[in-house]
Amino acid sequence: MRAWRVFLNVFVLSSVAGALNTTSTPFRAMALGASVTFGVGSTTGNSYRKNLQDLMTASNMTIEYVGTKNNGDFANNAVEATNGFVISQIAAAAQTAVPKLLPNLVLIDAGTNNCNSGGTVPDAGANMTNMINHVFAQSPGSTVILTTILVNSVAKQDACRVDENKQIATLAVSMQAAGKKLVLVDMRGPDGPLVTDLADGRHPNDAGYVKMANVWFGGVQEVVAKGLLSPPANAPSSAANSTSSNNGTMASSATKDDSAKVAASSPVMMMSLASSVMPTSVLILGIDIAFIRGYVPFFALLVFLVL
């Protein structure tokens, strides 16, 4: 019996840990940026967005992209990005799109085109701060994942990007200290694209976009772990998107909501079983992981009481 209890403890800990890395709150995500976000350099036009969607779906997260444009070979391909835009232009586009679409997550990759001539961009951090503050004001409760900008094969442009990234890191620390719901990810870190992952010295190729998606997903996981995600400000079905095709995210979200209701009604039944029908160790072993994901607090309490 002792060996069974050790096994069950391991089973419970691993299952609950997996459950805590996901959320039932749907993501209404706006990918905000310029040509990299749009998908230049990828063979499909998907940028990092399709790969990120796949990672989130595999972790039982529901994502609906919103934006005023579409690009890519997948249905859920809305995006808020325009080739060649600098920070101020991206900010202007956001001021129109954000209050209309009300994302609860905004993925911001801005500043690459400010460095096309090299030199420095001393106001990049201030302009980025203003843009992010407008996002928070225009979509109350939203969360921002901000990224540093990619490597570049042209030395003077890359030096400019390094300077911009210092400003980005500084503003992120300041905003986080002020209690803003902001997470910073680093595209120039060890997991980000290298120069060899660029299609043209500036935009990632398909392999580079896979790396970008992985970095973004780390940011999503941090958002979930810190409890920074709020539900969308209005029902996803009433959001005015640029396309009526949302890759099934509405139905998927409804299905998860129904599952959550079933799980929420199950603890009384399960506690009754625990007390009168079968041995506790068999009961715990027999609970499906999907049930654990649907009602972690009850399951954790049951394990605590029994073991």
CATH of the domain at 215: 3.40.50.1110
Cα–Cα distance list, 12 to 17, 193, 273 (Å)? 8, 36, 18
Ordered per-residue pLDDT tens for the chain, 307 residues = 444 443 444 343 344 344 446 899 999 999 999 999 999 999 999 999 999 999 999 999 999 999 999 999 999 999 999 999 999 999 999 999 999 999 999 999 999 999 999 999 999 999 999 999 999 999 999 999 999 999 999 999 999 999 999 999 999 999 999 999 999 999 999 999 999 999 999 999 999 999 999 999 999 999 999 999 999 987 444 344 544 333 333 323 332 333 333 233 333 323 332 333 334 333 333 334 333 344 344 334 333 443 4
Q: What is the pLDDT of residue 239?
A: 42
Q: Say if residue 105 is in the same domain as residue 171.
A: yes
Q: What is the pLDDT of residue 10?
A: 38
Q: Say if residue 230 is in the same domain as residue 274.
A: no
CA–CA separation, 20 and 59 (whole Å): 10
CA–CA separation, 232 and 171 (whole Å): 25
Q: Say if residue 115 is in the same domain as residue 210.
A: yes
- 40 close to 79: Cβ distance less than 8 angstroms: no
Q: Say if residue 165 is in the same domain as residue 213.
A: yes
Q: Say if residue 33 is in the same domain as residue 12.
A: no
Question: Of 214, 231, 251, which one is at a domain's C-terminal end?
Answer: 251
Report strand pairing: 69-70 vs 78-81.
antiparallel
Comparing C-alpha atoms, which of 90, 91, 84, 77 is closest to residue 202? 84
Question: Of 251, 272, 289, which one is at a domain's C-terminal end?
Answer: 251
- 142 close to 103: Cβ distance less than 8 angstroms: yes
Q: Say if residue 152 is in the same domain as residue 295.
A: no
Q: What is the pLDDT of residue 22?
A: 80
Q: Return the bridge partners of 63, or none.
A: 27
CA–CA separation, 42 and 290 (whole Å): 36
Q: What is the pLDDT of residue 255?
A: 28
pTM score of the predicted model: 0.74
CA–CA separation, 256 and 64 (whole Å): 14
Q: Say if residue 58 is in the same domain as residue 124.
A: yes
Q: Say if residue 13 is in the same domain as residue 113.
A: no
Question: Of 251, 274, 290, which one is at a domain's C-terminal end?
Answer: 251
Q: Say if residue 156 is in the same domain as residue 207.
A: yes
Domain tally for the chain? Answer: 2
CA 159, chain centre distance (Å): 28
Q: Say if residue 71 is in the same domain as residue 203.
A: yes
Q: Say if residue 147 is in the same domain as residue 32.
A: yes
Question: What is the extent of the structural domain holding 257?
Answer: 2-18+252-306
CA–CA separation, 199 and 196 (whole Å): 8
- 209 close to 37: Cβ distance less than 8 angstroms: no
Q: Say if residue 246 is in the same domain as residue 258.
A: no
